[in-house]
Structure 1
């Protein structure tokens, strides 16, 4: 039995919560009385409550994020009904800023801000029986170099089965209005030698998959170089994920990135828009020449796999402008282009645009935009389906030869928009569509514009590049099963990137 349970609902089983491990690491003399229990969204909330309460905790600390806020609200209600004497403490970005748009009224305490110190102080007072804390605790920024680091609290199970989340910095120097990171523009860094010592300990324990949560990994070049050099010296395979700004790749950094072999390096590249007027409206600094040059470099001279972010629904950006952004990015990069829908997070300053641009958002998580003065509700719904189909067809890497036919005239946005409209009408769904059904839909749609055997050959090569796939039945009448579709062997970790470079 444990007095303190730390828990959250991760978005995937392979994810792990760095925040919970920070809380555990900083519980001092209370640490032996605490345990982490992690779950996954879309699990039975009652079963989660049952497993937590089976530990007979006096305090439950729950990390709340945009993806789990609704489920956490329900979890809190069940826990307090079943075990009203158990104290529930909420923390995390989703409860750190007002307004709270999910009902957390039954929680006993809410910690707003960084909780490493505040959570310990609260637990100590509660367990001592003399708590004087207010229900809402506004926690100040912690001294990043004074708190205990969390990396020893990754278990051997975590290291074997999950991504290991790490951070060398907190804050972001930019002021993009849609992002919570823009609230703290002053950067705080952990001493690089201390940080690399922690990474080395994880490495010695077998960790090989590291996801850096630093918002701007390449803003401080000396630190970025030290981290890249550390991993380049390793002889074994590994996977690294960094969030990078697209306009800061000096030659010294380029020389290092070029040395990483395929499958090792994934870069999250925040673009959001290429429209300078829109960027200015949301206080996002764009250096287009540098962005274009760096995307070209990363695509043509490195093995780094890229996730390039674009947003639909930004204030003052029309669908036509978004379409031009997508068309241009398609020509600039071989990476995935992640099409996101604008969300209004509590704590950001996006609401200053609401009246000017008629911005209307969903009140429930994920607080996505419903319409604005340039994009109607119906069109926004079309674009949400566009984003979903784009992800499962283009970003999946499963149909690169086929989509090349779809985009052969350079009208990437226009052609995929027409296809996504047709596909939704044809499939009546955006989820649980099998690879073979997608292939058949692509064949059916493209048959009106291309030679059927040409389309069939492209689809066959795409489908058979996926390990374990069988010859699609609908193609057997068009192409003999003896067709030579031999493909290069591609490692699973880097299949998408390899296919785009062939």
Structure 2
């Protein structure tokens, strides 16, 4: 039985926790006395507690994040009732700031704020030796990155075969965008490159084909970026029928020619870039300490869309201090015209410790006091309008980001994307009262009714596009508006191509 259990509640099974693996790899002599136990939000808390206690641990290290804080609090409360002498140690971004105000911190024995690898190992050593440090809140020690043990050997064969593998070539961020906890970093620190590439080679040799880089600024140091891209290109060149899928986060206004040349060499379905635009408004950018050359960012997005095969996922945030609906709409329409594969329409959140809170009084920021701490209203967007924007974001994800409706989406957005989709969003909510549990067939019928009736577009053309979209994404039913004698297409696979996830594969097959 392990003396130490490292656990967390992930958002999905496919998301293997890199943080837990970093902790275990750095336990030193205690590593063999530890085990990783991962769960998923939505599991019954009693079942999670039962599985943890079945290991009979003396220490539980629990990773706490914005998506699992509520369930983690319930879990710790139950564990303390069932086994009061279990030493519960919390870590993670959600408990690294404003710790004294949190119920879960009061329930636990210790909280490690910030970096955890060194401090957790030291605490575990003390506790297992019969010592109990007096301080409950322990600031995490930040060592030089070469001093840390590399965690990738902690990925199991099941992880390699079935889950995204999270990797990091660097930690930290040199930028100060106030909505992000990385604004508190002094800079970005790189891991030693050659050992990192050697670990990638080991993962690849074990069969890993999906890699998600968690670096905030992958393209900050171009020489390092090129070395990592060359690593994957070499494997694709050697085995073109054995593809990989690699996710990077890019700075939007920094794309040197050397990087463009390397990106162009990748085949479709292998690269995904997450690109944070967040806002196109220069005044809002200055207000939140975000440095961004909008013209260069737009030019780079255009180049990426026109000259490479990467899947482009671009972020915008609604509810930033001082940005009203009209300004956000202009930015949204600008981004739609640049034609990335996905636009992640996010609603501002007040992450614990993030500097965005300094604008609360001046800009009337009203945040949800409960997770996920989303903005409810500002001095220029009232609560009812923010609710409309939240529904817009949800429906946009279902319809646009899903990649299921490329032809229909072009009709729906026409010459004024934000206004037309907001009108549809309002109509759909009035009709269904739902933002979740909407089956594809129900969405298809709603789109047909809205475009044909409320927008008065030719029903035959709308129906033809919807049928092509629906069946092209794997839909198997005959739609009510399809002619009875229409030839039903051969059902398509719902899976992605090779290592490419299904949603990205749909986007890359756009008509």
- TM normalised by structure 1 equals 0.97
**Aligned pair 1:301/2:311, yes or no?**
no
User: What does residue 157 of structure 2 align with?
Assistant: 156
User: What does residue 12 of structure 1 align with?
Assistant: 12
Please state how far the C-alpha of 1:267 moved relative to its aligned partner.
Answer: 0.7
Which runs of no fewer than 5 residues in structure 1 stay unpaired? none
User: Aligned Cα RMSD in Å?
Assistant: 1.7
Please state how far the C-alpha of 1:470 moved relative to its aligned partner.
Answer: 1.8
Task: Quote the Cα distance in structure 1 between the aligned partners of 2:244 and 2:503.
Answer: 10
**Aligned pair 1:393/2:378, yes or no?**
no
Deviations 1:68-126 (A, max 9, x none): 01110010000000100111000000111115664111100000010101001100100
User: What does residue 189 of structure 2 align with?
Assistant: 188
Please state how far the C-alpha of 1:483 moved relative to its aligned partner.
Answer: 7.2
The match for 2:267 among 242, 246, 261 is: 261
Equivalent runs, 1:280-295 vs 2, <5 Å: 280-295=286-301
Given that 1:122 and 1:133 are in contact with CA atoms closer than 8 Å, whether structure 2 keeps it comes out as: no
Task: Quote the Cα distance in structure 2 between the aligned partners of 1:232 and 1:420.
Answer: 42
**Aligned pair 1:456/2:457, yes or no?**
no
User: What does residue 27 of structure 2 align with?
Assistant: 27
**Aligned pair 1:355/2:361, yes or no?**
yes
Given that 1:263 and 1:493 are in contact with CA atoms closer than 8 Å, whether structure 2 keeps it comes out as: no
**Aligned pair 1:380/2:386, yes or no?**
yes
Task: Quote the Cα distance in structure 1 between the aligned partners of 2:2 and 2:170.
Answer: 32
Q: Secondary structure at the match of 2:146?
A: coil
**Aligned pair 1:58/2:68, yes or no?**
no
User: What does residue 336 of structure 1 align with?
Assistant: 342
Task: Quote the Cα distance in structure 1 between the aligned partners of 2:488 and 2:3.
Answer: 64
Given that 1:400 and 1:499 are in contact with CA atoms closer than 8 Å, whether structure 2 keeps it comes out as: no
Task: Quote the Cα distance in structure 1 between the aligned partners of 2:26 and 2:99.
Answer: 29
The match for 1:421 among 423, 426, 433 is: 426
Q: Secondary structure at the match of 1:314?
A: coil
**Aligned pair 1:277/2:277, yes or no?**
no
Please state how far the C-alpha of 1:488 moved relative to its aligned partner.
Answer: 12
Q: Secondary structure at the match of 1:39?
A: strand
**Aligned pair 1:250/2:250, yes or no?**
no
Deviations 1:109-161 (A, max 9, x none): 00001010100110010000023241100113122111111011111111011
Please state how far the C-alpha of 1:484 moved relative to its aligned partner.
Answer: 7.5
Task: Quote the Cα distance in structure 1 between the aligned partners of 2:370 and 2:452.
Answer: 41
User: What does residue 443 of structure 1 align with?
Assistant: 448
Task: Quote the Cα distance in structure 2 between the aligned partners of 1:484 and 1:138.
Answer: 60
Q: Secondary structure at the match of 2:103?
A: coil
Task: Quote the Cα distance in structure 1 between the aligned partners of 2:290 and 2:31.
Answer: 42
Task: Quote the Cα distance in structure 1 between the aligned partners of 2:313 and 2:479.
Answer: 33
**Aligned pair 1:496/2:506, yes or no?**
yes
Deviations 1:461-499 (A, max 9, x none): 0001112x22433123x5742278999998336333224
User: What does residue 482 of structure 1 align with?
Assistant: 487
**Aligned pair 1:88/2:97, yes or no?**
no
Given that 1:111 and 1:137 are in contact with CA atoms closer than 8 Å, whether structure 2 keeps it comes out as: yes
Task: Quote the Cα distance in structure 2 between the aligned partners of 1:446 and 1:377.
Answer: 28
Deviations 1:384-435 (A, max 9, x none): 1110000001110111100101122x20000000000000011110001000
User: What does residue 368 of structure 1 align with?
Assistant: 374
User: What does residue 321 of structure 1 align with?
Assistant: 327
Task: Quote the Cα distance in structure 1 between the aligned partners of 2:253 and 2:70.
Answer: 37
Deviations 1:432-479 (A, max 9, x none): 100000000000000022111000000000001112x22433123x57
- TM normalised by structure 2 equals 0.95
**Aligned pair 1:46/2:46, yes or no?**
yes
Decide whether aligned partners of structure 1 residues 127 and 485 sit closer, same or farther in structure 2, where only a CA change above 3 A counts. Answer: closer
**Aligned pair 1:116/2:117, yes or no?**
yes
Task: Quote the Cα distance in structure 1 between the aligned partners of 2:114 and 2:30.
Answer: 21
Number of residue-to-residue matches in the alignment: 498
Deviations 1:173-207 (A, max 9, x none): 10000000111031211111111011111111111
Task: Quote the Cα distance in structure 2 between the aligned partners of 1:196 and 1:485.
Answer: 43
Q: Secondary structure at the match of 2:274?
A: strand
